[in-house]
Structure 1
Amino acid sequence: MATKSGNNLAQMREQLAALQQQIEAAENEGRVKAIEQIHSIMDEYNLTPDDLVRKRTRGPNRKAAHPVEPKYLDPKTGATWSGRGREPVWIKGKNRERFLIEK
């Protein structure tokens, strides 16, 4: 027992499916055109796919890290710390002035 609204719903689903196919076809056509344009530009400028991939860099003219002179000394063990990075256990929470290396 089909109702008028049931038929209408079925028609709308058919229309939706047709529209989805049209959308998919248009997207594929757009992709094809975009790829053709990309190939044309690559040919014009003699580019390769490797030219399109960004090379990972650490920034402009970044120098390699160089060792930093120690700034603090543990008198008990002779361990040193530059003051960079995580605090060693022997200095953590203590007055750093008493561990300073005098120059």
Structure 2
Amino acid sequence: MSRTSYNTEKTRLEKEMAKLQKKIQTLQAKERKPKIAEIVRSMRQYDISPEEIAAAFNRKPAGRASGAAPRKAGTATKRVIAPKYRHPETQATWTGRGKAPRWITEAEAAGTPRETFLIAAESA
């Protein structure tokens, strides 16, 4: 593609984009008019002033940051889980949660039962 055709195509697309943006603005204006009229009717019906709307519009909901759901205090901390299994030679440990470590899976493949690696209750 030559430089001239690139610039010509770019200019044509920019003009097309400007036309589409103008159509979008016209459509939005057409859709907004009835909504605004409905809001004004409701304000008159319930005797709501524009100042009350402005105050409510600028007020942030209590306990929320940027629309996120409120969080309970203390839920972000993780609990430490005591290890349940220990390798007798390397002293590597595993809590028994999640995917089993390689030393457990290799031992089980060799025929050693998982219970062999259990940590005794008195040493925990």
- In the alignment, the residues of structure 2 paired with residue 56 and residue 75 of structure 1 have an alpha-carbon distance, to the nearest angstrom, of 47
The 4+ residue runs of structure 1 with deviation greater than 6 A are: 34-37
- In the alignment, the residues of structure 2 paired with residue 28 and residue 52 of structure 1 have an alpha-carbon distance, to the nearest angstrom, of 28
Q: If the length of structure 2 is used for normalisation, what is the TM-score?
A: 0.45
Q: Deviations over 1:14-67 (max 9, x none)?
A: xxxxxx89x814224357x39998x95451475049x6722366x544251121
Question: Kindly tell me: are residues 45 and 78 of structure 1, through their superposed partners in 2, closer, same or farther at Cα, counting changes over 3 Å?
Answer: same
Confirm or deny that 1:27 pairs with 2:39.
no
Which structure 2 segments of 5+ residues have no match?
1-22, 44-50
How many matched pairs?
A: 80
AA partner of residue 47 (structure 1):
R
Q: CA RMSD in A?
A: 4.1
Matched residue of 1:91: which SS? Answer: helix
Percent of paired sites with the same residue: 32
Question: Kindly tell me: are residues 71 and 40 of structure 1, through their superposed partners in 2, closer, same or farther at Cα, counting changes over 3 Å?
Answer: same
Which structure 1 segments of 5+ residues have no match?
1-19
